[in-house]
Amino acid sequence: MPTAYVVGTLDTKGPELRYIRDRIAAAGVATTLVDLGTRGGAADADVGAREVAGHHPDGAEAVLGVDDRGQAVGAMSEAFERFVRSRGDIGGMISAGGSGGTALVAPAMRALPIGTPKVLVSTVASGNVAPYVGPSDIAMMYSVTDVQGLNRISRTVLANAAHALAGMLANAVPAAADSKPAVGITMFGVTTQCVQQVTDRLDDSYDCLVFHATGTGGQSMEKLVESGLVPYVIDITTTEVCDLFMGGVFAADEDRFGAIARTGVPYVGSCGALDMVNFGPKDSVPERYRDRNLYVHNPQVTLMRTTPEENRRMGEWIGHKLNACDGPVRFLIPEAGVSAIDAPGQPFHDPDADAELFAALEATVQQTDRRRLARLPHNVNDPEFSEALVQAFREIAAGA
């Protein structure tokens, strides 16, 4: 049976973490207790704080020899993430703590592959957990009381968390009868028709995993690519780049396309929804953008049309990212519009802005036999464009 790693700062959360360990062990699951305390070692830890700290690039003293607590915790977090990446026996991981302990452990949990059980009991789990969870499948549980001492509430919450992890480890996910390879596909509301047409064509042969392009969606897809769980990508909707550049709410990070480059997976991309930046309700749009072409998608989402200059910058940035990809790449340009509302008569129809995007891509991408751009006289949602995406994908998938 896989091993449950019980991790945390034993110098401040020792009784709670040992209680979790004991409940998991009582369920018949093997445990490894890892000390992440920065004030000294715990004698009963299976992996001591100094051993973990030794994985810091500057050695253990960069963690344990630091007086500033915040600096020490940050250094231990870096060391622990490196420690986790070096291990091959982690069946699952669980921790409990406050905001500091949560921030310490979360990066290492995110480094674990999707599907590896991860439970994080935290005092901050009832708020915005996006900074901790990111694109991973961490299960966060609110501690209700502070993680400070064992009482009738904390025992119940911690035991439930321990039993949840033990259950995950004791009951392996059955292997899927369907052995079709997975393909990651990005979608937005304004590219839905295109995605549906593509998945309809590929469903017989591929397990189509559709990701909502909300920033985290793109990160999740690329994490699965990096984990080896998604060997093909059809990146129809690259709109998260707009929000990265202009400060929208669905922003990619600077590593967008990074997993594609590092893994060399067969990649088909397009310009889906690069005509829009996403904000919340209309009154939340930043003052500097109030005179722009705004479209209320719904009461909670306001879209802003991108300008020719913004499109030029995005085209160059995406082009450089594609140049870093050594695997097979096909990037298709829909000349008749990049979204459902970028078409004649629609609110974001702007051929001049699109032309700047397309020209920047063509000028930047270094085309080779393996890396190609293609212009098509269709809107991204036209059946002919979907067919071209499918054909490009089948071509490079066949040669992979």
| Percent of the residues in the chain that have a pLDDT greater than 70, as a whole number | 99
Residue 282 DSSP label: G
Structure tokens, 360 = 């920047």
175 assigned to some structural domain: no
- 325 SS3 class: coil
- For the chain, the domain total comes to 2
- 283 SS3 class: helix
**Residue at which a domain ends, from 170, 205, 221:** 170
7 assigned to some structural domain: yes
The radius of gyration of the chain's CA atoms, rounded to the nearest angstrom, is 24
Tell me, yes or no, whether 239 and 145 share the same domain: no
**Alpha carbons 284 and 200: distance in angstroms, whole number:** 38
**Alpha carbons 238 and 252: distance in angstroms, whole number:** 9
**Alpha carbons 306 and 275: distance in angstroms, whole number:** 5
Residue bearing tokens 């674990």: 112
Chain segment 87-107, per-residue pLDDT in tens? 999 999 999 999 999 999 999
Tell me, yes or no, whether 239 and 146 share the same domain: no
**Residue at which a domain ends, from 115, 136, 170:** 170
Q: Please tell me the predicted confidence (pLDDT) of residue 278.
A: 97
Residue 14 domain boundaries: 3-170
The answer to whether 155 and 19 are in contact (CB under 8 A) is yes
Chain segment 225-283, per-residue pLDDT in tens? 988 989 999 999 999 999 999 999 999 999 999 999 999 999 999 999 999 999 999 99
Chain segment 208-231, per-residue pLDDT in tens? 999 999 999 999 999 999 889 899
Tell me, yes or no, whether 211 and 266 share the same domain: yes
Structure tokens, 55 = 């994985």
CATH, residue 221: 3.40.50.12030
Tell me, yes or no, whether 119 and 220 share the same domain: no
Q: Please tell me the predicted confidence (pLDDT) of residue 94.
A: 98
Q: Please tell me the predicted confidence (pLDDT) of residue 177.
A: 66
